[in-house]
Chains A and B, each alone.
Chain A
């Protein structure tokens, strides 16, 4: 008698790798062959996970059509059994899988569209947290400003792409009624701020300076490294005005942290 772990591994191999070898002896035929019984599970698993991907990546789906999307999804599912019991977690590696797929090689912007969609998905499901804005900053004594460390709220994501993925995303929304044509030779890449406000996810374009600043802060950078990176990234960058704008968008987490201890 195999152990539970062996049984599960054998079942997983039958479903994901079409290899029923180790589980087959333990399945009673009873009117249906073990292969056909396993086929039921295999189809349900692949269809269920593919459907989860379709829900998570609606723009990719729309761009390539159902038949092609299902082919992409199928090769992904075979390589990536779920590692979480929650279906909402499924698909994090899908953008990288598209990037590595020969199938989608003629659509070089597709992986970044998928990354944007996953950022949207993550932002939507991230924890809620209060924001640190201008009023909160004003309550901090100026002599403590150098000890301040700003972090992004859990529902904030950043994405930079050499492709106009924000426009591609926009013109492929079901409610978009304009011309969905995009000429990649005329349009440039973009930097995108993805954040949830209430129950809605918003996408804002960022300047080079804003992106550099937020990117440093997202990697636990100090304020001075973030500010210096921003000014380096964008000549003539108006750092204070941009910070006021970003604070107005509720990008930063509250309470802000201090190197020297508790909040004032």
Chain B
């Protein structure tokens, strides 16, 4: 589809881009920055409802931006995360008032970029969107620039990110060299039979073994994307970055970029390499097992709640990848459902941590001692989120876990099923360490905790969602089935 016709379909993106500039300009005039925050939340909501209700037959902008149900699902994920992160950061005083406007602008930009990331179906767009999302993430991570941890995290993130981008780009160049195209689906077509690789490409590569090149390209590409979703063994950056970043940013980073990274990964694997499915499914199985195991085992010894949740989010990435490790309709459904449940639960947990951090000025587990006395509601809510992360029914996380289990069992992947079972028990241990501090340990001080409205709203929304999906799973299942309608599942 040409550029002019495409404009109609991206009206929500255009609107969001316009809002970004408006907020940027208003930032000069408005002293009460929280109005900018509310404006941003509102515009995310409006942008969501501006999304077209039907999908075009072909990719927009000459196939550079694909609008399909799959992309829409992840767009919803991105908008939801950003909107709620905005709400939560309204109550986060550690972000300097002066720069709050810029902070909101960066988050809105992030929403826009993530949307494009979910619709990227060629190598160039994948690289550009991932890169720009990463750049914005670096900025957000280092936003508390006078905080040593925050700056250190940002620097680490930049260095790791730069390497991973280079790796990814190298993989892409191999793929392009071997296939002569940057379109994912065309790479897939070409791979269907190696004989069909055009003669001119073969001569360009000097008749080299294109199969080997494609395999290498795939591996490098997977490694590059793997960095972004904190997949073991490319997870080293994650704990430091998640700990150092301002907490609302951490909440956001553990969910949205990860979810979108998985979206890109799914598109790459299913569009471009359907013929190598046995190779990457095998690889994914063990990567998934390693990711969940390492994340969970290291999380046990953490005494800082942000770090604990950081490692937990690495483990959760492992569960999400388990869906890709068992390719098929159920596996993909499991991935998407798990992402949705994880979004609600993990954001909820982090928002509760923000609400507590505001009052206690600490993220140490010890500071949580006796929280059930100081603020029973907050303690109860955090417990519910942690239970959901641990996969206890009837909460959202349980539905996700059921699906992951199901796809592993249906694919007869016994190691995966056993590993999920054992990991769930391990994970419960450290989640309950937090619960233990809140309920079983006596409080040092008794003064109650108070919180402003925006954070309460954000937590309340997540809590509602966690129960809603747990008790009426049909809602999310139907949405996921719809969003996979046009997805090429072999």
State yes or no: do A and B come from one complex: no
Question: What residues of chain A have their CB less than 8 Å away from a CB belonging to chain B?
Answer: none
